[in-house]
Amino acid sequence: MEFEVTRDTRNALLKRREVDFELRFEGPTPSRMQVTGKLAAMMNVAENTVVLDTMKTRFGVMELSGSARIYDSEEERNKVERGYLLTRGVPKAKEEEGA
Asked if 90 and 33 touch (Cβ cutoff 8 Å), the reply is yes
Q: What angle do CA 39, 45, 4 make, to 5 degrees?
A: 30
What is residue 90's DSSP assignment?
P
| Lowest-confidence region among 13-22, 33-42, 90-99 | 90-99
Residue 82 clears pLDDT 80, i.e. is over it: yes
Model confidence band, residue 8 (pLDDT cutoffs 50, 70, 90): very high
| pLDDT, position 76 | 92
Percent composition of the chain: helix, strand, coil (DSSP 3-state, to 5) = 25, 35, 35
Residue 52 clears pLDDT 60, i.e. is over it: yes
Ordered by where they begin, the domains of the chain are 2-87 (3.30.70.330)
Average the pLDDT over 21-27 and give the result. 93
